[in-house]
Amino acid sequence: MSLSRRSLLAATAATLATPALLRAAGAPIRIGEINSYTAVPAFTLPYRNGWQLAVEQINGSGGVLGRMVEVISRDDAGHPADAIRLAGELLNDQKVDLLAGGFLSNIGLALSDFAKQSGKLYIAGEPLADALVWGKGNRMCFRLRPSTYMQAAMLVPDAARLKAKRWVTVAPNYEYGTSAVKWFKQLLTAVQPDVQFVGEQWPALGKIDAGATVAALAEAKPDAIFNVTFGGDLTSFVRQGNTRGLFEGRGVVSVLTGEPEYLGPLGEETPEGWIVTGYPVAADTSPANSAFVAAYKAKFGELPKMGSVVGYALIQSIAAGIIRAGGTDTAAMADTGFPGASFATPIGTASWRALDHQSTLGTYVGRTALKDGHGQMVDWRYVDGATALPSDSAVKAMQAG
């Protein structure tokens, strides 16, 4: 049987095209991840472990839509300009399907604007500034963690029960700190109109003069303190506060302090009874968290930290958006994939809100305690992020503003 020239050419073309089509169908999903690994290792190194564990588990189960997940990671060293340069390299040279990561709020905002300008999706893991999804939100940016508004809203009910009238605040002088203080003031005043804020301190991030800061706060003679410092600044602040008696007889409400990466370094200096947001690690024996803790410990030989949860949940949330979109087409992911997608995390199921691209991932609220020379989070409860969000009308007003 003979073939016509046209049939032979068609058959040859089909034979040559098939491997290429198969390669395209099986191409990995490439995530360009950027974070401040050398600048904030206490959080970002456990975070990296978390996303590595998620990638391993997803790929071990067949990938996402039959495609393996590949993360190409870069270190911005805590500099927004470096983050933007690296984002361009990941898009143009590495041909990633989307961008993810970020720790500091100023870097998250820079990456969000880059995503808007480049028309590529950016999934922010840790940056907490509300502007990321409200005042400066855009179609290409989604944010995973509870924002400064949400963290303040979770803490205010306990803060109000202190019945303290004179408050002081201390927070790093950049977007995250100013936003957290703003919302705490507004939300506490709404439920306790007679409250007064009689002093505030704004140390530079990573450069707190703890002695002077503590002295200034004490001078205001407060009944209670709202603290937003973290990392090395928190350790220095606690040490000087303990030495100078700042916390004696005063309530303290503190964002993030219950997270193991910040609570652990305090050791025997851990102040007791602070109202905090955080992560009680092994104390949460829910099936999802227990399985995560066991898998993490088996792989890395240590307990996870809050950063580990964020890294793990970030990859799971991205997978959910891609599955719902049916692939990695940017428009499909931004408009129909991520908005409304639900995803499982070690600390509860969450979803991406269509209104503002904020995830409903929650966090824990509890108190600090010192046990056997180690700081722990006790009397904790998990607060669903969906219960700590502003109303739809308030969000729309902030987006319009």
Q: Residues 14-23: pLDDT tens digits? A: 333 333 333 3
Mean pLDDT of the chain: 92
Q: Hunting for tokens 């209104």 — which residue is that? A: 355
What value does the mean pLDDT take over residues 61-84? 97
The Cα–Cα gap between 67 and 138 comes to 28
- DSSP-derived secondary structure for 41-55: HHHHHHHHHHHHHHH
Run of H or E including 376: strand 374-383
Domains and CATH numbers, the chain: 28-147+304-362 (3.40.50.2300), 149-284+364-393 (3.40.50.2300)
> Among 35, 48, 175, which residue's Cα sits nearest to residue 111?
35
Determine the average pLDDT of the residues in 382-393.
93
Tell me which DSSP letter residue 115 carries: H
- Residue 302 pLDDT > 70: yes
pLDDT at 12 over 80: no
pLDDT digits (tens, 9 = 90+) for 325-371: 999 999 999 999 999 999 999 999 999 999 999 999 999 999 999 99
Strands 363-371 and 275-278: what pairing?
antiparallel
pLDDT tens digits for 100-111?
Answer: 999 999 999 999
Cβ neighbours of residue 5 closer than 8 Å, sequence gap 6 or more: none
Yes or no: say if 286 and 314 are a contact pair by the CB < 8 Å rule.
no
| pLDDT per residue as tens digits for the range 195-244 | 999 999 999 999 999 999 999 999 999 999 999 999 999 999 999 999 99
What is the distance between the alpha carbons of residues 27 and 382, in angstroms, rounded to a whole number? Answer: 39
Give the 3-state secondary structure percentages of the chain, helix then strand then coil, rounded to 5: 50, 20, 30
Side-chain half-sphere CA neighbours of 347 within 13 A: 33
- DSSP structure class, residue 337: I
Residue 49's identity, in one-letter code, is N
Cβ contact 363:154 at 8 Å: yes
d(CA 188, CA 171) in angstroms, rounded, equals 17
Q: Residue 143 in contact with residue 171, Cβ under 8 Å?
A: no
CB 237 within 8 A of CB 247: no
* Neighbour-count burial for 252-285, b at 16+ CB within 10 Å, e otherwise: bbbbbbbbbbbbebbeeebbeebbbbbbbbeebe
What is the value of pTM for the model shown?
0.90
Task: Residue 172: name the closest of 148, 201, 150 by CA.
Answer: 201
pLDDT tens, 252-294?
A: 999 999 999 999 999 999 999 999 999 999 899 999 999 999 9
pLDDT at residue 4 greater than cutoff 60: no
pLDDT value, residue 394: 86
How many residues are recorded in the chain? 401
Long-range contacts of 371-374 (CB under 8 A, 24+ apart): 373/267, 373/268, 374/264, 374/267, 374/270
- Residue 244: which residues within 8 A CB-CB, separation 6 or more? 211, 214, 215, 218
Both tokens assigned to 220: 């205001």
With the C-alpha atoms ordered 256, 258, 263, 266, is the resulting torsion angle positive or negative?
Answer: positive
**Do the beta carbons of residue 144 and residue 361 sit within 8 Å?**
yes
pLDDT recorded at residue 401: 65
CB 262 within 8 A of CB 232: no
